Structure 1
């Protein structure tokens, strides 16, 4: 999706939408940041980076400041991870299995789809995750000192969008352990027609399991 191919009226409307989303999230306490706009596509797809080098000092900015950041220069919409929200990034197949399990259990979780085929499952921040998640090549934990793009960040291939909007969860981020459990079950091959059972004792960390460090974006 090439921004230069959009009519001027579309570009203007889209930037207004992105700015409004940034302000709305900031008003709810989300640590929102403006990011760079990626020009890569295909194998060159890359995460946007914070637009300000001192971005960590800008977390928790007032919505008026956030509005100013998103006025004028094109940018992406980022949320910093590790203080309020974490994100688990997974591939398409694993994402679909986990989403189906979440539907079965009745636990809605904010889910973001990126145009490179990756999924982001958003949770409340945590200090540890199950080792199976930290050791798997298809799972990336975005925690402390990280950041991820949020809708409607544009890329050449498309636009970051919500698969499950946060308002479905009443704007309350789910406990990380709830999503950890489902992701581990998805890694084991479970899907939406699997019996729903309490497997927390099998998949959640115990006191003698070491923490897995998060990956910065």
Structure 2
């Protein structure tokens, strides 16, 4: 069951915020579209959002006015399609934390999303290529490219709400090249980490 308090007031507040986020992102050209929303009271079957409409692919690139209409009077999660404007690489929290620190240490932009299930999403410019073998062959890594989607904050999820670890506006809404982030994720997957993270982990272990 969801740990979040899904009272009417909470649902109303999230609905307003989700609508505002959807409109803003659509205005920036992000292919957002509605996702399913948890029922109230939650029945224990809710896991994660999926497209609310079967024709979601045909709705991509809708004008912000149409996006606003979708979220007016209806409650939806916020999803963004991958494979055109952006892609996403999904990793576990350990690799995600390492990669985030490596990116920050190198001064490289990368919007990062954390999901309540312990998974992190690294957003990049869309790439027609494939993942490096080290990422592609690792079962803990998932690439979201053409035909896929990812949830955007503040989408409700099992045991909480999707949130930004690094907001797009921190980097002036610049999405990084896919190869740049892939290379950092390969390093993080191999155990490399920024010096300050290594010191912090060592002190915790001690």
TM-score range with shorter-chain normalisation? 0.7 to 0.9
Q: Which secondary structure does the structure 2 equivalent of 1:33 belong to?
A: strand
1:87-111 C-alpha deviation (Å, 9 max, x unpaired)? 0000011111111111111112100
Q: Tell which deviates more after alignment, 107-116 or 46-55.
A: 46-55
Q: Which secondary structure does the structure 1 equivalent of 2:156 belong to?
A: coil
* Unaligned segments of structure 2, at least 5 residues: 197-206
Name the structure 2 match of 1:23: 23
How far residue 41 of structure 1 moved from its aligned partner, in angstroms, is 9.8
Name the structure 2 match of 1:37: 37
Name the structure 2 match of 1:108: 109
Contact (CA 8 Å) 1:102, 1:108: kept in 2 or not? yes
Name the structure 2 match of 1:83: 84
Which residue of 187, 190, 209 maps to 2:189? 187
How many angstroms apart in 2 are the aligned matches of 1:90 and 1:102?
Answer: 15
Name the structure 2 match of 1:70: 71
How many angstroms apart in 2 are the aligned matches of 1:179 and 1:159?
Answer: 25
RMSD: 2.0
Contact (CA 8 Å) 1:41, 1:156: kept in 2 or not? no
Name the structure 2 match of 1:172: 174
Change (3 A) 1:182 1:41: farther
How far residue 10 of structure 1 moved from its aligned partner, in angstroms, is 2.9
How far residue 38 of structure 1 moved from its aligned partner, in angstroms, is 4.6
How many angstroms apart in 2 are the aligned matches of 1:45 and 1:11?
Answer: 15
Aligned length: 192
Q: Which secondary structure does the structure 1 equivalent of 2:62 belong to?
A: coil
Name the structure 1 match of 2:148: 146
Q: Which secondary structure does the structure 2 equivalent of 1:9 belong to?
A: helix
Contact (CA 8 Å) 1:41, 1:157: kept in 2 or not? no
How far residue 24 of structure 1 moved from its aligned partner, in angstroms, is 0.3
How many angstroms apart in 1 are the aligned matches of 2:70 and 2:162?
Answer: 19
1:169-213 C-alpha deviation (Å, 9 max, x unpaired)? 21121100110010000111100119xxxxxxxxxxxxxxxxxxx
Contact (CA 8 Å) 2:48, 2:157: kept in 1 or not? no
Contact (CA 8 Å) 2:115, 2:157: kept in 1 or not? no
How far residue 52 of structure 1 moved from its aligned partner, in angstroms, is 1.2
Change (3 A) 1:108 1:70: same
Contact (CA 8 Å) 2:112, 2:165: kept in 1 or not? yes
Q: Which secondary structure does the structure 1 equivalent of 2:84 belong to?
A: coil
* Unaligned segments of structure 1, at least 5 residues: 195-217
TM-score normalized by structure 1? 0.83
Name the structure 2 match of 1:155: 157
Contact (CA 8 Å) 2:48, 2:158: kept in 1 or not? no
How many angstroms apart in 2 are the aligned matches of 1:41 and 1:142?
Answer: 29
Name the structure 1 match of 2:136: 134
